[in-house]
Structure 1
Amino acid sequence: MKISFDSLEEQNIQNFKGGEGVFKPRMHVGNYNKIMRATLPAGSSIGLHTHDTNSEIIFIISGVGTMEYDDTMEILNPGDCHYCPPGHSHSLKNNGDEDLVFYAVVPEHN
Structure 2
Amino acid sequence: MVFDFGSEEFVGIPNFKGGEGHFDAKMHDDGRCKVIRGRIEPGSTSGYHLHEANCEVIYVISGRAWFDYDGEREYAEAGQAHYCPMGHSHAMGNASQTEPLEVFCVVPEHRVP
Q: Do they superpose with TM above 0.5?
A: yes
Among all aligned residue pairs of Structure 1 and Structure 2, give the percentage whose two residues are the same amino acid. Answer: 44
**Residues 5-84 of structure 1: matches in 2 within 5 Å?**
5-84=5-84
CA contact 1:66–1:76 (8 Å) conserved in 2: yes
| CA-atom RMSD in angstroms | 1.0
More displaced stretch, 22-31 vs 1-10? 1-10
CA contact 1:44–1:94 (8 Å) conserved in 2: yes
Distance in 1 between residues matched to 2:56 and 2:95, nearest whole Å: 21
Q: 1:102 matched to which residue of 2?
A: 103
**Number of aligned residues:** 110
2:6 match: secondary structure? helix
Unaligned runs of 5+ in 2: none
User: Quick one: which amino acid aligns to residue 92 of structure 1?
Assistant: M
Using the size of structure 1 for normalisation, the TM-score is 0.95
Distance in 1 between residues matched to 2:93 and 2:31, nearest whole Å: 28
Unaligned runs of 5+ in 1: none
Using the size of structure 2 for normalisation, the TM-score is 0.93
Distance in 2 between residues matched to 1:6 and 1:29, nearest whole Å: 17
Runs of 4 or more consecutive aligned structure 1 residues displaced over 3 Å after TM superposition: none
